Structure 1
Amino acid sequence: MSSYTEIPVQTPHPHPQTTTTPTPTPTTRLTTRPRIKHPGTRYYVHRVKESLTTRVSKFLCSCFLGLLFIVGLIAFILWLSLRPHRPRVHVNSFTVTGIAPDNGIQNSIISFNVSIRNPNQNVDIYYDEVDGTVYFREVKIVTVVLLYPFYQPNKNTTFANGTLSLASLSVTDSWPQIMANGTVDFRLELISAIRFKVASWMTRKHRMHADCAVLVGSDGQISPTSKNKRCSLYFY
């Protein structure tokens, strides 16, 4: 009896296959733009009205500032042209006769000439009586009326002459000591009340005080340093 023996055949195991996990493809995310809401007609009408109001306001402000500047400039020019200036007083001559270097002043005659000028362009001046007083070393000698009330138009000069007699002049110091510098100190004072007239408007009265220092030489004539010198002027 024959027997058949089957040889087992070993079936080779298959190699394990490496399985790769498929990489998921990135999905593109669709982004949707927000819907822009366009302004309506009312919005544009409001913007136009606002812009127009702003422009009109700026225009009115510019006109107002320009008008204010022009008015201020005109007022400043008028103030400069109509502002009253003080009169100008000058001593043109001053003579003292009878000055002796040793004996002082005896039987002397003092004569002087002053000019009063109105320097204003459009302003007139009204003067009350003008009084002139001569001082010697702050000692009052005499007072005379130089001018009676008068009217002086603009850019006009008025001259006044004064003459007075002096019998003698007593001084405490010796005359050579007084004449040490070769000159004698006198002082001429003018006092009046004035009013300015601008167009048809008249100002109130102002008390005018002119103080003129005068140096007289041994010959009795005014010193060159004092001739035509402008006097100090005060109001009170």
Structure 2
Amino acid sequence: MPPYRLPLYHRQSPVARCINFLCAVLLTLILIAGVIFFVLWLSLRPHRPKFYLADFSIPSANRQSGLANLPVSFTVNEHNPNQKIGIHHEEIVASVFYGDQLVAKGTVMQPFYQPPKGDKPVVGQLVAAGPVPTDPVWGRFSAELAAGTVAMRLLLTSTVQFKVKIWDTKQHHMKVECDFRMNGDGTLQQQDKNKQCVLYF
């Protein structure tokens, strides 16, 4: 029976050791680059703006001849929560609805730039087109108005682009939806003041 022998240690060739060293360095560099890119992505990732309904009114909304030609006024406060990212807005178009009935529509803001951590009021001045007594929804609208509370909806639409340092992101179509209730005198109910609106991108 041949004597038991320990396996001999085979040293790696210089070429194999060099390849292993280069692979280790490459993997380390990839890991470091991945961490750096992840941190940069977190710090430069745009956060969507926030909108709050501050005020709304239709003076003399309870008149018997309907809302046609009455002024519609509102204020929506916009806040940019980003530390280092600004927001370019194209023109903002506002639409006011009672159910599916369009009450008023028009452009309320021209293009503007919202700086980082900035706040800007979106102030709208529109003219109501209805409802009027000849509209099918007038009976329900006037009854709710007489009862002192009417569910309304304000939509703001625009196109926005985030400005990160020296480059701009792609354009996003933005829709802001503010659901609220109006008092019988055409003013915004107190509980809906400064209510956050829903933002769709």
When normalised by structure 2's length, the TM-score is 0.79
**Where does 1:88-127 land on structure 2 (aligned, <5 Å)?**
88-100=50-62, 103=64, 105-106=66-67, 108-127=70-89
Aligned to 2:112: 150
Shifted more, 201-210 versus 126-135: the winner is 201-210
Amino acid at match of 2:56: F
Paired with 1:120 and 1:35, the residues of 2 have a C-alpha distance of 76
Is the aligned partner of 1:73 residue 2:35? yes
Is the aligned partner of 1:204 residue 2:174? no
Q: Structure 1's 204 and 175: CA in aligned 2 closer, same or farther, altered over 3 A?
A: closer
Post-superposition CA distance 1:159-218 (Å, at most 9, x none): 121123447632343456424863111111111111112122222322111111121122
Identity of aligned residues (%): 36
Paired with 1:220 and 1:158, the residues of 2 have a C-alpha distance of 25
Is the aligned partner of 1:193 residue 2:155? no
Aligned to 1:29: none
Q: Which of the numbers 183, 187, 190 marks the counterpart of 1:224?
A: 190
Provide the aligned length of Structure 1 versus Structure 2. 196
Amino acid at match of 2:99: R
Q: Structure 1's 50 and 151: CA in aligned 2 closer, same or farther, altered over 3 A?
A: same
Q: Give, in angstroms, the shift of residue 113 of structure 1.
A: 0.5
State the SS of the aligned residue for 1:73.
helix
Q: Give, in angstroms, the shift of residue 219 of structure 1.
A: 3.6
State the SS of the aligned residue for 1:67.
helix
Paired with 1:89 and 1:36, the residues of 2 have a C-alpha distance of 82
Unpaired runs of 5+ residues, structure 1, are 1-33, 38-42
Unpaired runs of 5+ residues, structure 2, are none
Paired with 1:76 and 1:148, the residues of 2 have a C-alpha distance of 36
Task: Select the structure of larger CA radius of gyration.
Answer: 1
Amino acid at match of 2:151: D
Shifted more, 76-85 versus 50-59: the winner is 50-59
Is the aligned partner of 1:140 residue 2:102? yes
Paired with 1:206 and 1:167, the residues of 2 have a C-alpha distance of 30
Paired with 2:19 and 2:147, the residues of 1 have a C-alpha distance of 76
Paired with 1:136 and 1:35, the residues of 2 have a C-alpha distance of 99
Structure having greater relative contact order (Cα 8 Å, sep ≥ 6): 2
Paired with 2:73 and 2:104, the residues of 1 have a C-alpha distance of 12
Paired with 2:4 and 2:97, the residues of 1 have a C-alpha distance of 101
Post-superposition CA distance 1:103-157 (Å, at most 9, x none): 4845643211111222222222111111111112221122222111111211111
Q: Give, in angstroms, the shift of residue 48 of structure 1.
A: 7.0
Conserved? CA contact 1:104–1:169, under 8 Å: no
**Where does 1:27-42 land on structure 2 (aligned, <5 Å)?**
none
